Structure 1
Amino acid sequence: MAAHEGVNGAAGPDGGFEERVRWLLAVPHVAVFSSVVDDSGTWVRRAEYPEIPGCVVEAPSAVEAADLLEELRVRLIVAGCRDGGPGPLVDRPALPGGTAGLSGLTVEEVVRRL
């Protein structure tokens, strides 16, 4: 498997679409949760992966926000790879065994759902 250089030299696969998606889904991203007041004055939980541009959600509970965040992370990674780009690159290796973010699903389970 050939590799390209990512942020700060992080290596990732240069293979096809599915190989890039599998690798990126197995890379751990930092999730940030906070309680904020939305435009209507209601307290909501905001969750984001700051390393993935546009990966921010809001929901009534942290659990709901985590579920929505994970769905959005997968969609953004897949969309980035479909557009021919490398997807969001971070300076850390993919996890062995391929755990897919907050969902607890393996990368194989997530890829089967695509």
Structure 2
Amino acid sequence: MKVGEYLRVPYLVTAQSVERPDGSWARHVEHPELPDCTAEAESIVDALTQLETKRIETVVSLLKSGRTPPMRPYLLGDVQARQRVRRAGLAEKIEPLWDTDASSMRVG
């Protein structure tokens, strides 16, 4: 499979409001299917934006370590997935990898 196909997987998102030690509240979001793929911010929009960046980085990191990210029987469209990469500010880093065979990503 190509790297771009793994980046098209629509992972489950969970969200909850959590109280911080100082008494303020934050929105905590995560992709429970991916290791350590969480984000927290005051606004849900900011938390989800951070989570999207973390998802992309986590999937690429898993591939580089030789592990296969969880898959689904359906994928997001190619254009939609590429737009998510651009919005996350990772286009320069990820676009060159998009059509790379994921098995060739392994480092070490």
Fold agreement, TM-score > 0.5: yes
How many residues are aligned here? 91
When the two chains are superposed, the root-mean-square deviation of aligned CA atoms in Å is 2.2
Cα distance in 1 for residues equivalent to 2:79 and 2:33: 19
SS of residue paired to 2:78: coil
| Paired position in structure 2 for 1:63 | 45
| Paired position in structure 2 for 1:113 | 92
Structure 1 segments, 4+ long, off by >6 Å, are none
Counterpart of 1:39 (choices 11, 15, 21) is 21
Calculate the TM-score normalised by the size of structure 2. 0.71
Tell me, which stretches of 5 or more residues in structure 2 are unaligned?
A: 94-108
Tell me, which stretches of 5 or more residues in structure 1 are unaligned?
A: 1-12, 14-18
Q: Which has the higher strand share?
A: 1
1:1-80 alignment runs, 5 A limit: 13=1, 19=2, 21-80=3-62
> CA distance change for structure 1 residues 80 and 35 in 2, over 3 Å: closer, same or farther?
same
What code does the residue aligned with 2:34 have?
I
What is the identity percentage for the equivalent residue pairs of Structure 1 and Structure 2? 31
Cα distance in 2 for residues equivalent to 1:25 and 1:65: 19
8 Å contact from structure 2 (residues 9, 72) kept in 1: no
